[in-house]
Amino acid sequence: MVFESHKICITGKTRLLPIIGHPVSGVFSPPDFNLAFQERRLDFTMVPIDVPTESLKAFWDLLRNSANMIGCSVTYPHKQAAFDAMETARHAPLG
């Protein structure tokens, strides 16, 4: 499949929005998101990241501790694990 090309300039100020799954070869939403970000003049970029199940905890830690990741979109097979991680975080004590 061929996507229409749009110039994206990534800098140290760019906010990243990963879309994670395993595999991510079938992910089609990044071009649509990136076009919408560009049209709204937002310095955001969506990137697909292939995260095997055994690496999810490391990815959550990276996401939580990254200054330029604004969240993430989740696809198969990680949706339930993402929900469980959010529930755990929601019930964790603050501070």
Which residues are catalytically annotated?
Answer: 79
Question: Three-state SS for 7?
Answer: coil
Sheet strands side by side (includes 73-74): 44-50, 15-21, 73-74
User: With contact defined as beta carbons under 8 Å apart, do 78 and 22 qualify?
Assistant: yes
| Rounded Cα–Cα distance for residues 63 and 69 (Å) | 6
